[in-house]
Structure 1
Amino acid sequence: MTAAAAGPDGLWIRRFSPADDARVRLVCFPHAGGSATFYFPVARALAPAIDVLAVQYPGRQDRRGEPCVDDMGRLADLVTEELRPWTDRPLALFGHSMGALLGFEVARRLERDGIRPLRFFASGRRAPMRRRSDEDVHRRDDQRLIAELTSLSGTDAQILDDPEVLQLVLPAIRSDYRAVETYRYAPGEPLRCPVSVLTGDSDPQVTLDEAEDWRHCVAGHFDVTVYPGGHFYLTEHAGAVMAEIRRRLADTALPSPIGTAPRLH
């Protein structure tokens, strides 16, 4: 690992461009089959104003020897615990696809513990209560699973064309899809933090109506930004997405005194 990784053990949280003087931390949750390194460019782009923490799930890259976690609730519990040492300053959350569901569940847990995220960015994912009849990717054979990945254009083509590498990464991808597809939204208190939804206008995984339905999970400010592109619109429009994150976090009032995570009252 070339990046600095603070925290109790450095397994879960990666800091690719540590920004120790930043007033805000942005926790980034990868998509299904993704890893913390997906957010390396984000960390470079947002430092030093924002300290980016990228979550590394078990079962991939340097954690490949660990068992994957295929239950969204359990994964959210584990990540929330790992984030506790980082709540000495305001946290914002950003999740793409599977990461948006995980970020939502982590935000719920933080708020239940009295820690209100500064803002939650939900990218490339329909609202948690919206399900589809074809959510069975984790049960498909390898070839059909690979076909799904190819259709979303989010996995490096070199990986998809290398049988040996594929055999290494497919277990984590299948586990992530199982976590997403077996997830069931449990009604509860809406998020009190501001929520910004980002989506691509031709994403086969998310319609505009499905993105708008995130508002039913939110008690406070809510907005939707639509970009040209498909499920991985954010790789095509990285500059615009980074600008949106900077603008939204700059517009969100920080708690006083700085250095203490905002608490619910």
Structure 2
Amino acid sequence: MAGHSKWANIKRQKAVVDAKKGKTFTQISRAIIVAARSGIPDPAGNFQLRTAIEKAKAAGIPNDNIERAIAKGAGTFDDGSNLEEIRYEGYGPAGVAILVEALTDNRNRTAADLRAAFSKNGGNLGEMGCVSWMFAQKGVCVVDDVSNEEELLEASLDGGAESYEMTDENTAEVLTNATQLESLNQELKAKGFDVSDAQLRWIPSNNVEVNDPDQARSLLKLIDTLESLDDVQNVTANFEMTDELMTASMV
């Protein structure tokens, strides 16, 4: 299976722990700010904002923090920061392509942090465009507690899905065109499926198979280091790795 899908599934299971460390609070709060800034500051008419708020509540972020983040995005609350979205690109061990989506108020600081993370873990931060051509942005719905794949397939097709993948025994990721994400999310929920997450994600057109234990360990450490940075929102990589090697490399 695609290694990053498995890795993403593991990271979701760690979300509660990460939230206690404050990382998820910062990450989701910034996502709310950007969503409110890019559309109307009303979740009823802004799917991106509505999804970010749902994630915030699931992570236990207080309502006051959510409202303050919406106000920052709407421009009615000024704390002196000016967040901008930047995408960074590079290569990890074994030639794995890595996309990093960041929200920052200081480009120099973020670039320096990312460059250090890459260089210390067997990778290289590259120029814009060096790996993005290998990825396409898709809408992804994560569906939990899947008991009937045929019913999931039928509902997914009705919602405009392009494909789906079982990331573990009962969890699926359903992919669609980026513009169809809201429609797919609504259709799956209307059919009674438990959609735990709906997001835009960069999907690789091809994957690099990682078999060497040392490279696997360095790659997963690099991704973990990148994801731990406050300015980083999402990390996507085009690797495949067996579950056994991934588990062994995370010890």
Q: Structure 1 length as normaliser, TM-score? A: 0.26
Larger radius of gyration: 2
Higher strand share: 2
Structure with greater contact order relative to length (CA < 8 Å, sep ≥ 6): 2
Greater fraction helix: 2
Taking structure 2 as the reference length, what is the TM-score of the superposition?
Answer: 0.27
